[in-house]
Structure 1
């Protein structure tokens, strides 16, 4: 006789309200390090049920309103890059994934590629999720580039939500022998829905938007070690200064965009509790002339010095650790 399907359950209900967010944020599922940078926007509470269905993970989650961020540095430091299909039963989420906007309301779904930077806000919600390891997603749904912020309409998502609800209801009675067939059925159903949900043609973008995308990729590759001057970028991209300036007009210019990316990376490095580079090293690595240059630019953007920001991160982390320390 097959063994019962293992179900991982997690809830913050038993913790004092002031400890619930820290307890959840520092949990070790699905990875020991947090996957998102999160900030509750109302008193925090959550409960989860997850199960492994063959090669994929199924999750049912209730969680209060939150801001979610995933930065390029987080992606570089992580080995967790699945495709997540989120199905919204109650609640709402909206934001952007790699610059592409999405808006999901109750009864809809969206795909989230964790190999890409993102920022979104969610209300209090109840969701079902299928977490698809990248090799599995590539085998079933490649190419994946058009899934990064793909939204399923209510009509498209309805069948998947019904299937997920049936799995959730049956979880207490499922066996390990049933897990693999259920996971495969989920993949087959997702593939069927995707045939209708995927755009039949690639949306057209303007010449300036296409150049902005190419230039942004070039800047990202050369940001740490490389020349990102206007002259160098024009040579790499084979365009004139006027064309390049036009493409970055909405960003305040090419160098303003480069500075923003450097400051984003500096903020991620300052918040990295595992490495603690010196501020001077961060400044040199990211192309600032010296620590003072980084400090002036950082204060102008964030209203505090790099040292003050690092101390704020350390203080917040200490508060979370203290609140989750076991009583003696």
Structure 2
């Protein structure tokens, strides 16, 4: 609208003309323009963009349900039925995932089970995303480094997938949010200090309310909404966890530098120029300080090599990756296939070829439990998150 229909001069001229049809004609033009204007505004927002990735065991034979769940969620953890339960008893589960680009939101209903993310699992799936869990019903108990955190409705649990853990859950309904570590920048150290904590303060309750309202909006979100939503989740998580008392206050000095070093290494694993010297230059620090930072990890060179081996292991286990083993070795920073194979077997106890063959067999077994040609794997979304 240009505002002319409300101009006093125009209205008085129409009155003076005495035309019985002048006002209706003017009103019709005004409302037509308003409708078009509103229509343009809606069109500019674009159509809804989120399509959920849905998985359910409920239509499967009882004896296949738990195996299908294990396969579908293999990138997250390993799973076991409660004592006294057998696969023939069935395992009803529903897993609906929404991909916001910088975050994954999962609406979950699942039967009781135990879970653990072992060192071996970290090798096969070296993702280090943060997971936030809000229970709507049920309870869970998770142990990390000897500390057990109990989650229940009205609370929020935070845990990293980059560290071994184990636990159990009753029949439950929950909302899970996966957030990539790089989303938090230097603030990732705030989360490190709060790994495996359960909060129930006012800030966490605000976070629960925000997630609940976000759930209702998921089917109608448009592309321009997503960055702001992810940013809001990040900021609310940081704010909620900033109040958690640091577990290692004396060691907290320098963790920002360590986080920058880790991030630089992750982003440059494929570069032959990734060396202690290049790290010192990037971080503007001395070799002595750098070695002090990585002393608990066996040294900076050991840390870099292990990250490269974990990345190569994940690539070999990816059924969509058809690169030759020698190409994967080069892509993860190794100067020769022989050196790569030797280091790989020393780290994992089996060869790169054996790792690929084992992963291929597991993938074939997973496909055998799913007849749909367009079956997708939640593991793919996790692997791509934050890239």
Cα distance in 1 for residues equivalent to 2:267 and 2:55: 41
Deviates most, 122-131 or 243-252: 122-131
How many residue pairs match? The answer is 273
1:296 aligned residue: 342
What RMSD, in angstroms, separates the aligned Cα atoms of the two structures? 4.8
3-state SS, counterpart of residue 267 of structure 1: helix
Q: How far is the alpha carbon of 1:266 from its aligned partner?
A: 0.5
C-alpha deviation, 1:158, in angstroms: 11
Gap regions ≥5 residues in structure 2: 1-53, 218-232, 373-387
Report what 1:252 is aligned to. Answer: 298
Tell me if structure 2 keeps the 8 A contact 1:280–1:291.
yes
- The DSSP-based 3-state class of the residue aligned with 1:275 is coil
Q: CA deviation at 1:151?
A: 2.8
Per-residue deviation, 1:288: 0.8
Matched, 1:321 2:364: no
Aligned equivalent of 1:236: 282
- Say whether the 8 Å CA contact 1:46–1:64 is kept in structure 2: no
1:36 correspondence with 2:84: no
- Whose helix proportion is higher, 1 or 2? 2
Q: Choose between structure 1 and 2: higher strand proportion.
A: 1
How has the CA–CA distance of structure 1 residues 194 and 226 changed in structure 2, closer, same or farther, with 3 Å as cutoff?
Answer: closer
> Residues 138 and 170 of structure 2 are in contact (CA less than 8 Å); yes or no, is this contact kept in structure 1?
yes
Where structure 1 has 5 or more consecutive residues not aligned to the other structure, the ranges are: 1-7, 28-33, 168-177, 181-189
1:93 aligned partner: 142
Q: Is the 8 A contact 2:95 2:107 kept in 1?
A: yes
Quickly say closer, same or farther: Cα 1:262–1:133, change in 2 above 3 A.
Answer: closer
- On the 8 A contact 1:92/1:105 being kept in 2, the answer is yes
Q: Does the 8 A contact of 1:91 with 1:126 survive in 2? A: no
Go from structure 1 to structure 2 and tell me whether the alpha carbon gap of 1:284 and 1:196 turns closer, same or farther (over 3 Å shift): closer
1:130 aligns with 2:175: yes
1:276 counterpart = 2:289: no
Secondary structure (helix, strand or coil) at the match of 2:138 reads strand
Q: Which residue matches 2:273?
A: 227
Shift of 1:47: 2.7
Q: Check the 8 A contact 1:86/1:112 in 2, yes or no.
A: no
Deviations 1:44-77 (A, max 9, x none): 664345789xx9765443241123467898869x
1:105 aligns with 2:150: yes
TM alignment of 1:60-99, pairs within 5 A: 60-68=109-117, 84-87=132-135, 89-95=138-144
What is the SS of the residue equivalent to 2:335? coil
> Normalising by the residue count of structure 1, what TM-score does the alignment of the two structures yield?
0.63
Cα deviation code 1:72-109 (max 9, x no counterpart): 98869xxxx9964333733312349xxxx984314353
- Is 1:20 aligned with 2:69? no
